[in-house]
Copies of this chain bind each other. A is one copy, B any other.
Amino acid sequence: MPAELTDILGDLVSVNHRLTRVAARAARGTESPAVWRTLSVLLSTGPIRLGDLADLSRVSQPTMTKLVGNLADRGWIKRQSDPADARVSRTVITPAGEAALVAWRTELAAALLPYFADLPASDVDTLERAVAILRDRVAATEQLDAPQHLGAPKRTVATGQVAR
């Protein structure tokens, strides 16, 4: 069945691309996925080096430098310098950033809800478990080239609970 799993993964990525676009247009906020991805990572990690943030977000370091600049301009993150190493700058999400993230998720889910409103409970359950599986795997990929600096996992947006 590796052939089958291969197809499922291909389909998964395809449908994800489509769903992402549907979501983007449904909740037509002006902000980009990268912003929310970054904030979401920040929320789950706490203060973190820029390079590690880039790795966890799966973007290059220069890209993350840009993103962090934008986010800082909006007041959604702040940067603090490391007393022990003048090269590093740690990034932290601000309360405003958390609020913006929560607001976006709410708006987004509200926009998508109509399309999923009539889902049978069993399908809802399937989706929930699929999301859990995917989150596990994505987290696993982060462990592979895991940097040593990161602390313990923290909260997730939806639940406020410790992730994993």
Contacts and interface: CB of A to CB of B under 8 A. Distances in A.
A130 interface: yes
Given A12-B131, A23-B13, A109-B10, A137 B157 contact: no
A65 interface: no
Interface stretch (A66-74, A78-86, A88-96, A119-127): A119-127
Interface size class of chain A, counting residues whose CB lies under 8 Å from the partner chain: 35 or more
Interface string A6-29: 111111111111111111111000
Interface of A: 1-2, 4-26, 33, 36-37, 40, 57-59, 105-106, 108-110, 112-113, 115-117, 119, 121, 123-124, 126-131, 133-135, 137-138, 140-141, 156-159
Contacts of A124: 1, 4-5, 8
Nearest to A6: B109
A138 to B, nearest CB: 5
| A10, A127, A129: most-surrounded residue (chain B CB, <10 A) | A10
Contacts of A130: 126-127, 129-130
Contacts of A159: 7
Given A13-B109, A123-B133, A129-B130, 7 more contacts: A4-B128, A5-B119, A15-B135, A21-B37, A22-B138, A126-B126, A126-B133
Given A15-B135, A40-B14, A5 B113 contact: yes
